[in-house]
Structures are given as C-alpha cells and as structure tokens.
Structure 1
Amino acid sequence: MSFEGKVVIITGASSGIGAQTTKDFAKLSAKVVLVGRNAENLKAIAEECGSADNVLSIQADMNDENDVKKIIDETINKFNQIDVLVNSAGVIEVGTIENTSMEQYDRVMNTNMRSIYHISMLAVPHLIKTQGNIVNISSVNGIRSFAGVLSYNISKAAVDQFTRCTALELAPKNVRVNSVNPGVIITNIHKRGGMNDEAYAAFLERSKTTHPLGRPGTVNEVSEVITFLASDKASFITGASIPIDGGRHATCLR
C-alpha cells in the first residue's frame, strides 16, 4: 500500500489517533498536512514525517472559520492538490441532559461536527478533481447509546449520518466517504475531557470487561484501518462506519 504522490490532510494531528495516522501516512510515502492546536507537538510529529518538501504543519483552531479556510488554502499553495481528508479533531465532555450546559454542548458540536462539515465542504472541490476520499473519526458512541456523555454521543451520531449522506452525494463523482468508530483507545482525550489519573486508570481497567476482546485499543489499531480506507484497496467501500472497538458495539454492557 502506497500513497506516493498523494496529499493527505489530517486534523487533530498533534495527538492521539491523528498523530499516529499522520506518521503512518508519511511512512506510506504520502505528502502530509498536519493540523492541530499544539504547535510544539505538531513540530515534533512533523520531524518524524520526513523532509520539509513532503510535510506541511499548520497550527489552527477548527472552530475558527478563517483557520479552516487557511488549511485548504495553504495546502493548495504548497502541494496543488488534495487527495485525502482525515477528520480526526475532536473533544469529549462529561454530562447528562440534567447538567450539560449549552456552552458544553456548543463546544462539542462545533468541534466534533460543525468543523468537519466546514472543512469537508471546502475540500470537496479539490477531492473531486483527484477522485479522492474522506475518512471521518467517529466513535462507538455514534453507533450505540451511553449514559453520561450526552453531547458527545449526539455529535458522533451526527458524524455517522454526515458520512452516509455525503457518501451518497459524492459517489457519482467518484469521491468516497467513510468513518471509523473506535471504542476505548488509549489516548489523552478523556483526560482532556476532565478525568484525573485515578479515574482514567479505573476507566481503562473497566474497559477490560466492557470490551469483548478484553482490553482497550491502541492508536495503531485505528490508524491502520484509516489508511486502508483511504487507499485504493478500499475502492469499493463508501458510506461505511467501521467499528474498531474490540466488539464493544455488539455488547449490552453499559
């Protein structure tokens, strides 16, 4: 599998799944565009991805419309094309219908869904030219319901619906759109969402019983499916939401 001559944009590339996915695409000879908020992390990951000729690092806030437009403009200015868009930027907030504030709701929906809509809309004209594709990072929470993370659940269900709708709309133009739906993956997203070290350790321990395969997943296990979906090996797959969750979506455990 090779992405020689292909240009791949990865949002949320400064940490977690996005960071690993960026490195994997670079290993597969892609020209990578790293997008994230943490400039120091972006620099470190960019240095692992090869020469400056094949790497573009963009510090951006996905909730800033001018920043989103900048991502597309700078990519075209440097590489003249876009072949793959990986929408990996995301946040999680804890809360139920009784205590999730509108500020929390807006923050989650704006980052997890509105920004995906915006950058995809801007990237599509370029993806049509290259007959490229989009891979959205959703969640097992988009497939089934979990208590206590209401706004996050809603945002990921929206990502899955967005994936299916845009896949249908763009199929006649040979642009594929798919999503991956990770279960618990060892990253920093839950800590950024408010979990302390003790709570996160307990969360990972419980994942051994809630995931039929008996453990949480790794970023590599997600990134390898992302690169597959973006490749020509997945040329007849579009509109799919693929669980990467150790069977979590199939259980009745809460």
Structure 2
Amino acid sequence: MSFTNKVVVVTGAGSGIGAAAALQFAAEGARVVLVDRDEARLRDVRAQCPRHDQELLLLAADIAREDEAHRIIQETVNKFGKLDVLVNCAGIFRMGSVLEGSIMKTFDEVMNVNLRALILLTTLATPHLVESKGNIVNISSVAAVMALGAENAVYSISKAGVEHFTRGAALELGASGVRVNAVRPGPVRTRILENSGTKITCDDWTPLTKIGRISEPQEIADVILYLANDNAKGITGSIFTVDNGIVFH
C-alpha cells in the first residue's frame, strides 16, 4: 500500500487513532498534515515519524473554531499544492445529564467538535478533493448504534450524526469522484476517556466484547489506510466496524 506523493490531513493527530494513522500514512510515503489542539503532542508524534520535516506540516488548531478550520485547509494547499485524503479523527467524549440539567452544555461542546467541525472541514476540503479525486475517512464509534450509558447520550448522538453525514456526503460527492467512508471502532486504548474526566476506562469494556480484548490504535489506522487507498476505489458510503464484537453483546 503506497501513498507516495499523496497529501493527507489527519485531525486529532496528537494521540490515539489520529497519531497512529498519521504515522502510518507517513510510513507509506504520504505528505501528512497533523492537526491537534496540543502542539506538544504533535511534536512528540513528529519525533516518531519516518519522514523529513519538509514532508510534514504540524498545525496546532482548534477545529471547532471556524477560522481555524479554514486555516487548516488553506495552509495545507499553500504548502503542498493539493489535498488527496481527509481523515476526520478528532473527537471528544463528555458526559451530560438530563436530570441534572448539564446535557445542553455537553451537547454544544461535543457536537461542535465531533460533528459540526467534521462537516465544516469536509465542506472546505471538498473542492480540493474533487480536483484530486480524493477521499474522506471519518471516525465514528459503536456508540452510534448502541447505548453506552445513561449520561453518554450526546456522544452517541454525535457519532450517529457522523455516520448519517458520511452516507449523505458519499451520495452527493460520488458523481464528482470523491469517496466518503467511516470507521466504527469499539473500545480502543486512547486518551479520550482519560481526557473526559470520567472514571470509566477502556478496560471496563473488555467483558462486553465477544473476543475479550481492547483494540490498539494501530488496528484502526490499518482500516483507515485501507479505505483511503486506491485499492478501495469501489467502496463509498460504507461504515467499517472494528469492535471485537461488542455490538453483538
């Protein structure tokens, strides 16, 4: 699998699935734009990268801010002249309660990052992807199709939205030669739960999987790269589940 001379934007590239995907794209020859709010984490990922600095672009940006989303796409095209693949990986997990009245604050925060920013970046990237006949890979979650808990509804709503948007965008952009797909991970060893402040850990989900294991970020990155590669040219509007069987629980 080769991405030589392909330009790939990966959001959430400072850790977890995004970092694993960015490193794998770079290893396969891509010129990678790594986007994350945490510049220090981006530098840590760059230190692991096999490519030279001139083949990478690190952008510390908050994708929930409209001006920052514009900057990401513009700086990508300014540096590399094109865009071939957009990987919408950035996401947050927050808990909110209807009974306690905190759900609306959670709704605004989570939807702005997990769904609105994803749709905006897709919109801004589309003219360049049409030109390159590129593709988009969105990161969903098994939360889109199963209830994770009483106070986790907003996260589930955001990921269900990601999947519906993926299908809708695939339907609209197909005639322009742009493919749009999503990966639906189950529990993965990332920082998303730790960053949320919840006491839940990914290991808490192990007994719920059919094969008794938690995925590593690289496993999800492998599927991302498969979908982004030209070998997957017949795949669009699809949701690929990588969850160790948890949705069948």
Alignment TM-score > 0.5, same fold: yes
Gaps of 5+ in 2: none
Aligned to 1:112: 114
Cα distance in 2 for partners of 1:69, 1:125 equals 13
C-alpha displacement at 1:47, in angstroms? 2.8
Secondary structure at the counterpart of residue 35 of structure 2: strand
Matched, 1:175 2:173: no
Aligned equivalents of 1:238 and 1:101: distance in 2? 34
For 1:95-244, list aligned pairs within 5 A. 95-99=96-100, 100-147=102-149, 148-196=151-199, 199-200=200-201, 203-204=202-203, 206-244=204-242
Q: Which residue of 2 aligns with 1:60?
A: 61
CA distance in 2, matches of 1:150, 1:96: 9
Give 1:40 deviation, angstroms.
0.8
1:73-123 Cα distance to aligned partner (Å, 9 max, x none): 100110000000000000001234323331111000000000001010000
Give the counterpart letter for 1:144 in structure 2. M
- Offset of 1:48 from its aligned partner? 2.5
Counterpart for residue 246 of structure 1: 244
Q: Secondary structure at the match of 2:108?
A: helix
Q: Is the 8 A contact 1:243 1:249 kept in 2?
A: no
Pairwise CA RMSD of aligned residues?
A: 1.1
SS at structure 1 position matched to 2:241: strand
Judge conservation of contact 2:97–2:103 (CA < 8 Å) in 1: no
Distance 1:211 1:96 in 2: 26
SS for the counterpart of 1:128 is helix
Q: What CA distance in whole angstroms lies between the structure 2 residues aligned with 1:195 and 1:144?
A: 19
TM-score with structure 1 length normalisation? 0.94
> In structure 2, the residue corresponding to 1:25 is in which secondary structure?
helix
Q: How many residues align?
A: 246
Q: In 1, Cα distance between the equivalents of 2:98 and 2:160?
A: 16
- d(CA) in 1 for partners of 2:97 and 2:163? 21
- The offset of 1:208, in angstroms, is 2.3
SS at match of 1:58: strand
The runs of 5 or more residues in structure 1 that have no matched partner are none
Q: Deviations over 1:53-76 (max 9, x none)?
A: 210000000111111100011001
